[in-house]
């Protein structure tokens, strides 16, 4: 959004989103409430539309409590998270939608070939429980991992003061998808991932491999989507590791396969967030891997 449109949208504070041609069939935001979040860095500004269902049902006719609960503490969580990444990555985001889908934390994938799908490769969808629930264990394809809703265990974004310092590693993961689409692979196929993140799903299939080989190259048990065999989640998890904290960034250097070299090369600001006065997650809760009998047997 350019500065003129950005300033106009900020003044409106709350507005209704209308999709050209009417409501889309999948992931529609038609009729949603929108708040404009103005992100600044130095003399630069970028505006992101933050949207949510206006009542107690989202556009998929499922119950949502966002309208009843969202406040400045939620917006602050988004700002704090985006402050950790390079400016060109911030600018990949045009809209963040918060309702009660998808099933887990968020989704940024899109289908360029479907005009009836509201996902566009510049939008992040977040589940409302990302803001209302504390960190917890979650199931992946190859075990369980600690889901970092925010950087402090036991805390939740909901009801935080408007100037809190918490950020969301889950949002960093979803942002990693948009960075892959629009920065890393912008001149090739947006849905693809860098070679360094590829797993058995991109190398001919996983079904006939033993568990250890199936997990090879996975930075976390959630290294590929549940219904598809690509490695987009493995890239997004590595992106999260890189910007989450010093402990998880160090783990990328110890992994058998990782995108650390590419992430360093693409980080145009170079200084780590925690070296620039932002919070550091200096510890890491190891994942429990299926190939090791659900034990934390790997160094990442």
Residue 117 and residue 7 share a domain: yes
User: Taking 90 as the threshold, does the pLDDT of residue 17 lie above it?
Assistant: yes
Nearest-CA neighbor of 291 among 202, 218, 190, 203? 218
Query: What are the Cα distances from residue 53, in Å, to 64, 72, 99, 214?
Result: 7, 17, 7, 39
Mean pLDDT (the chain) is: 90
Report the distance separating Cα 219 and Cα 237, nearest Å.
7
The answer to whether residue 70 is domain-embedded is yes
What does the block give as tokens for 61?
Answer: 């006719």
Q: Which of 133, 167, 198 is the last residue of a domain?
A: 133
Q: Which residues, 6+ apart, have CB-to-CB distance to 10 below 8 Å?
A: 36, 38, 47
Instruction: Over range 82-92, report the average pLDDT.
Output: 97
The answer to whether residue 36 is domain-embedded is yes
Residue 187 and residue 90 share a domain: no
Cis ω on the peptide bond leading into residue 164 (within 30° of 0)? no
Nearest-CA neighbor of 237 among 216, 252, 249, 219? 219
Which tens digits make up the pLDDT trace of 89-141? 999 999 999 998 776 678 877 766 677 888 888 999 999 999 999 999 999 98
Structural domain including 211 reads: 179-292
| Cβ neighbourhood burial of 251 (10 Å; 0-12, 13-18, 19+) | buried
Residue 11 and residue 120 share a domain: yes
Residue 128 and residue 52 share a domain: yes
Asked whether 169 and 278 are in contact (CB, 8 A), the reply is no
The answer to whether residue 263 is domain-embedded is yes
The answer to whether residue 279 is domain-embedded is yes
Residue 186 and residue 124 share a domain: no
Which tens digits make up the pLDDT trace of 205-261? 788 888 888 888 899 998 887 767 778 999 999 999 999 999 999 999 999 889 999
Q: Which of 104, 133, 162 is the last residue of a domain?
A: 133
Residue 63 and residue 124 share a domain: yes
Strands annotated E in the chain: 14-16, 33-41, 44-52, 95-99, 106-107, 123-127, 136-139, 143-147, 288-289
The answer to whether residue 261 is domain-embedded is yes
The answer to whether residue 173 is domain-embedded is no
Report the distance separating Cα 240 and Cα 151, nearest Å.
12
Residue 114 and residue 7 share a domain: yes
The answer to whether residue 163 is domain-embedded is no
Q: Categorize the per-residue pLDDT at 177 as very low, low, confident or very high, splitting at 50, 70 and 90.
A: very high
Residue 186 and residue 92 share a domain: no
Residue 271 and residue 198 share a domain: yes
User: Number of structural domains, the chain?
Assistant: 2
The answer to whether residue 139 is domain-embedded is no
Residue 227 and residue 105 share a domain: no
Distance from the first to the final alpha carbon of the chain = 38
Q: Which of 98, 133, 168 is the last residue of a domain?
A: 133
pTM: 0.93
Residue 192 and residue 125 share a domain: no
Residue 7 and residue 92 share a domain: yes
């Amino acid at each position: 959004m350019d500065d003129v449109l950005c300033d106009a949208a900020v003044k409106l504070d709350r507005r209704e989103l209308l999709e050209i041609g009417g409501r889309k069939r999948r992931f529609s935001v038609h009729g949603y409430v929108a708040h404009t979040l103005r992100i600044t860095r130095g003399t630069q500004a970028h505006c992101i539309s933050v949207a949510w269902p206006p009542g107690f049902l989202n556009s998929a006719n499922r119950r949502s409590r966002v309208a009843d609960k969202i406040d400045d503490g939620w917006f602050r969580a988004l700002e704090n998270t985006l402050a950790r990444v390079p400016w060109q990555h911030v600018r990949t985001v045009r809209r963040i939608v918060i309702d009660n889908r998808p099933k887990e934390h968020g989704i940024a994938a899109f289908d360029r070939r479907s005009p009836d799908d509201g996902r566009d490769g510049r939008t992040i969808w977040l589940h409302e429980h990302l803001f209302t629930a504390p960190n917890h264990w979650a199931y992946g394809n190859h075990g369980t991992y600690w889901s970092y809703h925010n950087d402090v265990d036991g805390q939740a974004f909901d009801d935080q003061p408007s100037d809190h310092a918490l950020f969301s590693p889950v949002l960093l993961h979803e942002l990693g998808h948009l960075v892959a689409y629009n920065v890393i692979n912008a001149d090739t196929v947006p849905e693809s991932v860098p070679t360094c993140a590829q797993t058995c799903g991109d190398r001919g299939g996983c079904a006939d491999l033993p568990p250890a080989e199936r997990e090879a190259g996975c930075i976390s048990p959630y290294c590929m989507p549940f219904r598809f065999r690509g490695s987009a989640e493995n890239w997004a998890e590595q992106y999260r590791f890189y910007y989450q904290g010093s402990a998880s960034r160090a783990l990328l250097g110890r992994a058998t396969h990782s995108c650390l070299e590419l992430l360093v090369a693409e980080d145009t600001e170079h200084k780590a967030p925690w070296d620039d006065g932002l919070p550091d997650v200096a510890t890491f809760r190891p994942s429990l891997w299926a190939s090791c009998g659900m034990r934390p047997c790997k160094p990442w």
